[in-house]
Amino acid sequence: MENCDPRFEPLLEKFDTDAFELCDSTTYGLWPDFTLAYLNRAWFKFAAANGAEHEIRKRWGLGTNALLAMDEPLRGYYKTALTGCLEDGKPWGQDYVCPSATIQRKFYMRAYPLQHDRGLLVVHSRVLERTHNSPTAPAIEEFYTNDQGFIVQCMHCRLVQRCDHNDQWDMVPTWVAQRPENTTGGLCPPCFAHYFGK
């Protein structure tokens, strides 16, 4: 395996690692501290399809903490869930969306503990892909910049909060493709309920 820490390979001995390299599901291995120990080809293929392969190779290689790719409160949510998976020795799963500017995508993430608590294998399988069917809004900063000077974008569905109506969140494709520098992460009410409603 090209992108695998040699120390991690023994943890995958019961798996068909050739299948990992050939499948379309983004698959990666994590050490118990959540640093990346294995990346399959689909990891880089997905990045390339979304115009981010160079950035992914530069910033998200082996040894990088995967949790740093997300902001709070999702970082804490996933840290708790993955820690529980390691401690319980049982697989754990979560569905999530990852839209592009034009395509709505839904994935199912499944984490498998390796040799009980020595690491994790995480598989992201695409379960839905279709053109957005919700209305879109133009990227007009004055409609979305709040009193603190930030544009709040949902970390899960990527909708953007209106500053004049805090309960309204819009799909702004321009900002899904390229976030403004003054963007901060948040969770819209439905996505907050998706993660923390229970």
CA dist 175 and 152 (Å) reads: 11
CB 108 within 8 A of CB 127: yes
Helices 74-88 and 189-196 cross at an angle (nearest 10°) of 20
Taking the CA atoms of residue 95, residue 129, residue 55 and residue 108 in that order, the dihedral angle to the nearest 10 degrees is 20
Taking the CA atoms of residue 18, residue 8, residue 50 and residue 167 in that order, the dihedral angle to the nearest 10 degrees is 130
Per-residue pLDDT of the chain (198 residues; tens, 9 = 90+): 789 999 999 999 988 999 999 999 999 999 999 999 999 999 888 888 777 777 777 888 899 999 998 888 999 999 999 999 999 999 999 999 989 889 999 999 999 999 979 999 999 999 999 998 878 999 999 999 999 999 999 999 999 999 988 889 999 999 998 899 999 999 999 999 999 985
| Cα within 13 Å of Cα(186), Cβ side | 18
CB 126 within 8 A of CB 23: no
Q: Which residues of 38-76 are buried (b: 16+ CB within 10 A; e: fewer)?
A: bbbbbbbebbeeeeeeeebeeebebeeebbeebeeebbe
pTM for the model stands at 0.88
